[in-house]
Amino acid sequence: MNAIPQYRKLYEILRKHILTGIYEEGSLLPSENELCTIHGITRPTVRQALDSLVKDGLILKKQGKGSIVRKPPQNIGILSIAGTASAIGVRYLRTDMLKKPELRGWPESFAFELTELEKESGCIYLERLRYVDNLPVFYDINHLPNINLPRFTSRSLENKSLFEELRKNYQIQILGGEQQLKAINPDSHVKKILKLKSEKPVLYIERKLITNKEGFNIYSTIYFNSEKHTISGIF
């Protein structure tokens, strides 16, 4: 069997076509049966691919009608699995690497429990600041276990999707995750980084991303300036 399942391949194809505008907003995708014959697969497989697109909010299914293409979210779809850059569309996003990836020990207190393997391996630490429409919006602090990531600390990740890099170079995929959200008043450090003027609160998010490698999870702390943008999600 191929490494990449059929439904995943179809998902990637359709996703790309929607994001690049080949299928316009409001138009209909080919019907499920058409997709079957086009790609030489059966309906349950097609449906599995479409389910993922629904979950991403890229299509809307109507019984008796078809799969309607939705406008890719204009605000930041951090709640979707694909990660920041691909969710918002790379064109909107600029990334500054505030702290380049470096080896470290794990912090003492952590929102999520670590596995033994993770604890023993130490972690790679990196900080980024992400801009939307040239405004600093996302400040994220990331902890990755130092497991089978040769030369990772020397890679340039400026303006690249961290997840894309992990997938391409290390065959690591994000399968899912969990997160916790709070509203907080930022400390002066965060305030400075996000260029917050007055007493504006920020969204504080702790995330754990589960990958296809057993015991390899990515932990992120995110400070989000929700003054001009919102975080959105579909469920």
Partner DNA sequence: GAGTGGTCTAGACCACGCA
Partner DNA sequence: GCGTGGTCTAGACCACTCT
Question: Which residues sit at the interface with DNA, rule CB under 7 A?
Answer: 1-2, 5-8, 28-29, 31-34, 40-45, 47-48, 61-67, 214
**Which one of DNA, a copy of itself, none is in contact with 80 (Cβ closer than 5 to 8 A by kind)?**
a copy of itself
**160 token code pair:** 């690249």
Q: How far is the CB of 81 from DNA (least distance, A)?
A: 14
Q: If binding is defined by CB under 8 A, does position 4 make contact with a copy of itself? A: no
Q: How far is the CB of 13 from DNA (least distance, A)?
A: 13
Name residue 70's amino acid.
R
Q: How far is the CB of 209 from DNA (least distance, A)?
A: 17
Could you say which residues in the range 92-151 bind a copy of itself, by CB under 8 A? Answer: none
Count of C-beta atoms within a 10 Å radius of residue 102? 11
> Do the Cβ atoms of 80 and 57 come closer than 8 Å?
yes
Choose which of 202, 217, 219, 222 interacts with a copy of itself (CB under 8 A): 202
Count of C-beta atoms within a 10 Å radius of residue 179? 15
Size of the site for a copy of itself (CB under 8 A): 30
Q: If binding is defined by CB under 8 A, does position 44 make contact with a copy of itself? A: yes
Radius of gyration of the chain (CA): 19
Closest to DNA by CB, 49 vs 196, is: 49
**Which one of DNA, a copy of itself, none is in contact with 5 (Cβ closer than 5 to 8 A by kind)?**
DNA
Closest to DNA by CB, 47 vs 70, is: 47
Residues 99, 101: Cα–Cα separation, whole Å: 6
Alpha carbon distances (Å) from 81 to 39, 113, 175: 25, 21, 8
**Which one of DNA, a copy of itself, none is in contact with 234 (Cβ closer than 5 to 8 A by kind)?**
a copy of itself
Residues 233, 213: Cα–Cα separation, whole Å: 26
Cβ burial of 59 (10 Å; 0-12, 13-18, 19+) is buried
Name residue 151's amino acid.
R
List of E strands, 105-150: 123-132, 135-145
Could you say which residues in the range 60-89 bind a copy of itself, by CB under 8 A? Answer: 75, 79-81
Closest to DNA by CB, 7 vs 223, is: 7
Closest to a copy of itself by CB, 51 vs 122, is: 51
Under DSSP, the state recorded for 1 is: -
Residue with tokens 């600041």: 129
